[in-house]
Structure 1
Amino acid sequence: MDAGRASEAKRTTVERRSDRELVVTRSFDAPARIVFEAWTKPELFKQWWVPKSMGMFLRSCEMDVRVGGGYRLVFGHDGSNPAEFFGRYLEVTPHSRLVWTNDEGGEGGPVTTVTFEEKGGKTLLVMRELYPSKEAAGAGAADAMSEQFEQLDELLATLQGAA
């Protein structure tokens, strides 16, 4: 029974809360400090962000994680034209909250908020994407989040083992 609960606790849930808001929730078996670092340190972020099943890799990852700082992620397949995600950080509260813009789509990009809530050495992560319109919300990459979070889970286990 405990194994079933552990499996359920790690399940990624993706929920459309409104025409404009997507919410992704996942519990990680690691302290908020380590989960936050995996989201804010380029050398860690590169290890889990791109779903392996897509056959792509993160070519570069620039992150200036501070209010007003920016980020730029360049990824793609070998020999393909790269795709980019970029924006700026609106809020940075270490170990508990990140808010950033997604500017690659122009003014139609969402604002992403990620919260990290630690309870008993585990972290509940809630990621909210708020789009400026119903039409813009239709183009999200929610399907990839489960795989990305599985990869993050694997990285966190490695980081905790090394600590």
Structure 2
Amino acid sequence: MTGITPGSIEIDRFFAASPAEVFEAWTTPEHFSRWFGGSSVEVPLDQLDFAPEIEGSWTATMVLPDGNAIHWAGDFLEIVPNERFVFTLTDNPESPERAAVVVTLTEATEDGVEGTRLHFTQETPGFAPEQQEAALAGWQAFLDELIVADQI
């Protein structure tokens, strides 16, 4: 399912790449900085602190086309190589509130092509419907760039 549910957004995507390749795109700073934010946003590596390990934290700065920046922060909660990646995020690093993101990867075949089924959920506590729509559209654009950036 891709869409909005009470309190979250969900995305299902198929990638013509192995679970290991998709997992690497999510957990390697060089890959993450290329696709996080989509095609029109820059996430400079020198402004990305992203070393996934349980109970570790991360920060990133997105530089928008108009020169403004969004500062992100979160924590790593669960890492199962090539299967599952759970972390939190916020665009208000001073706030202790974080939304959980769960990425699950499974081997799949679609139209005769072997690859990976990605299931993504993000909590959206207190989001108005238009904020949920914007978050869903944003992540969809990010994942579109993941395909291009990493050739998957």
Please indicate the TM-score interval, normalised by the length of the shorter structure.
0.7 to 0.9
1:58 aligned onto 2:36 = no
> Residues 103, 150 of structure 1: CA spacing in aligned structure 2 closer, same or farther, 3 A cutoff?
closer
Structure 2 residue ranges without an equivalent (≥5): none
Q: 1:28, 1:153 within 8 Å by CA — same for their partners in 2?
A: yes
Counting only pairs closer than 5 Å after superposition, residues 1-163 of structure 1 correspond to structure 2 as: 14-18=2-6, 20-52=7-39, 55-59=40-44, 60-77=47-64, 80-105=67-92, 106-120=95-109, 121-131=114-124, 133=125, 135-136=126-127, 138=129, 139-140=131-132, 141-157=135-151
With normalisation by structure 1, the TM-score equals 0.76
Aligned residues: CA RMSD: 2.1
Deviates more, 1:102-111 or 1:58-67: 102-111
Bigger Rg, which one: 1
Q: Which has the higher helix share?
A: 1
* Deviation of 1:107 (Å): 4.6
Extract structure 1 runs of 4+ deviating beyond 4 A: none
Matched residue of 1:136: which SS? coil
Q: Letter of the 1:136 partner, please give it.
A: F
Q: Specify which structure has the bigger relative contact order, considering alpha-carbon pairs within 8 angstroms and separated by 6 or more residues.
A: 2
Structure 1 residue ranges without an equivalent (≥5): 1-12, 159-163
* Deviation of 1:153 (Å): 1.3
* Deviation of 1:147 (Å): 2.2
* Deviation of 1:97 (Å): 0.5
Residues 32-54 of structure 1 show CA distances to partners (whole Å, capped at 9, x for unaligned) of 000000000011111212222xx
Matched residue of 1:30: which SS? coil
